């Protein structure tokens, strides 16, 4: 195993780290307080990233780049591509502010969905769009297969009816990737994803949510009432294939779950490093002595570092597998489950260790602890990830292991 990050990725990691420190953190508290106010500072940053991708397509990064390599012949070489680059860059940006990262134009989870399953014509048409992802519905919880939004085939278009909630960047994005079923009687087998652009008749913004964390990122509820969507806006295969089920739309998560894992790792690392700085006068770190001989606080900080390191390499492995077109559904769930749980634990514990300093708004520690909670929920809760992992390890279907 070669655990060294490729040299070609290191400049992007360094640049993202500087953005986290010099752009994100100075405005972090401002937009946390001014919930739903759009961070205008992100427009320039997003344009710079777009320009970098256009100038050097082979070393691109960002949600829309994660599908690169799809359809190309495997030449047998080891690849460190857009999934790895985007994950490690996102980790550094999350070190600054997760909500601002989620608010960056054209970096939505919907962009990753389009990159994962769209055809060449759709990639060209939606390539410069900011795409959000709409899966969750009232009453469906974490069961993506139980969605009730319908897509009715009307010849040259589909008609969507239903409601989606908790759509990240739903109001700001140019379009929404909507999961809907072509036939409710067929369950998960008939679920497809559709790109619906804002301005489409029958698509309405119901409300913006007020949240515990990631307040700089808008979270929308959207309704679809006899909403007409062109036939060529359906992503992937339009045919209902009971043998494949909805594996096509689920491929999206193989790219996005490692990304969310990196969000959690960046937030956790920021909390841990700041806590170590606050406690540096009272703790003398000695990595040579057994942890049982260390003070309780010192030992706990060591354990946090170890858990963070383990989560990091699980995530790197999953991203590497995606770049090399290896099936990574299990690994994507493992890294997401581990990183999100560890991230939430670290941020909350750091608030406690910092005492009154960690609990007030003079420090970003309390904000990071609030932001981290959502990372253990969206893109599949902790319980859902463990269920997926169990199915993969035991070779069970969703019907056999619920």
Integer CA distances (angstroms), 150 to 221, 228, 251, 372, in order:
17, 12, 21, 33
CB 240 within 8 A of CB 186: yes
Tell me the β-bridge partners of 228: 159
Residue 263 makes CB contacts below 8 A (sequence gap 6+) with 90, 91, 94, 98, 101, 102, 375
The 10 Å Cβ neighbour count of residue 348 is 18
CA 207 to chain centre: 22
- Which of helix, strand or coil describes residue 86? helix
The 10 Å Cβ neighbour count of residue 306 is 12
Alpha-carbon torsion 47, 52, 54, 58, what sign? negative
| Active-site option among 37, 361, 379, 400 | 379
- φ, ψ of residue 222 in degrees (nearest 5): -130, 135
CB 268 within 8 A of CB 343: yes
Integer CA distances (angstroms), 201 to 64, 152, 159, 241, in order:
26, 15, 11, 30
Residue 164 makes CB contacts below 8 A (sequence gap 6+) with 134, 135, 136, 137, 149, 170, 176, 178, 221, 222, 223, 224
* Tokens representing residue 156 in the block: 């040259």
379 is catalytic: yes
Integer CA distances (angstroms), 81 to 126, 130, 136, 145, 295, in order:
21, 22, 30, 31, 42
Residues with active-site annotation: 379
């Amino acid at each position: 195993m070669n655990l060294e990050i490729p040299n070609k990725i290191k400049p992007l990691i360094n640049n993202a780290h500087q953005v986290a420190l010099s752009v994100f953190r100075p405005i972090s508290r401002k937009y946390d307080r001014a919930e739903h106010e759009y961070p205008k500072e992100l427009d320039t940053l997003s344009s710079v990233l777009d320009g970098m991708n256009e100038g050097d397509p082979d070393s691109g990064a960002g949600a829309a780049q994660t599908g690169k390599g799809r359809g190309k012949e495997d030449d047998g070489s080891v690849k460190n591509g857009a999934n790895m680059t985007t994950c490690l860059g996102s980790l550094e940006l999350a070190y600054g502010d997760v909500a601002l990262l989620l608010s960056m134009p054209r970096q939505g989870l919907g962009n990753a969905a389009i990159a994962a399953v769209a055809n060449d014509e759709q990639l060209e048409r939606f390539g410069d769009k900011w795409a959000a992802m709409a899966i969750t519905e009232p009453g469906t919880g974490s069961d993506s297969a139980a969605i009730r939004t319908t897509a009715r085939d009307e010849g040259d278009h589909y008609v969507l009816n239903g409601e989606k909630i908790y759509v990240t960047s739903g109001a700001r994005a140019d379009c929404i990737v909507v999961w809907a079923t072509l036939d409710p009687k067929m369950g998960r087998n008939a679920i497809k994803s559709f790109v619906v652009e804002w301005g489409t008749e029958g698509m309405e913004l119901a409300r913006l949510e007020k949240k515990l964390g990631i307040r700089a990122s808008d979270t929308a509820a959207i309704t679809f009432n006899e909403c007409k969507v062109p036939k060529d806006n359906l992503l992937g295969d339009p045919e209902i294939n009971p043998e494949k089920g909805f594996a096509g739309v689920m491929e999206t998560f193989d790219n996005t779950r490692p990304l969310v894992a990196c969000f959690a790792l960046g937030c956790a690392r920021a909390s841990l490093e700041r806590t170590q700085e606050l406690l540096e006068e009272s703790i003398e770190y000695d990595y040579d002595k057994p942890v049982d001989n260390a003070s309780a606080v010192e030992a706990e900080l060591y354990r946090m570092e170890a858990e963070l390191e383990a989560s990091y390499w699980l995530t790197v492995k999953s991203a590497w597998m995606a770049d090399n077109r290896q099936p990574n559904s299990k690994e994507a769930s493992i890294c997401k489950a581990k990183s999100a749980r560890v991230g939430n634990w670290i941020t909350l514990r750091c608030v406690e260790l910092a005492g009154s300093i960690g609990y007030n708004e003079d420090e970003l520690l309390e904000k990071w602890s609030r932001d981290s909670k959502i990372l253990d929920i969206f893109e599949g809760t902790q319980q859902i990830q463990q269920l997926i992992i169990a199915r993969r390890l035991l070779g069970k279907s969703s019907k056999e292991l619920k």
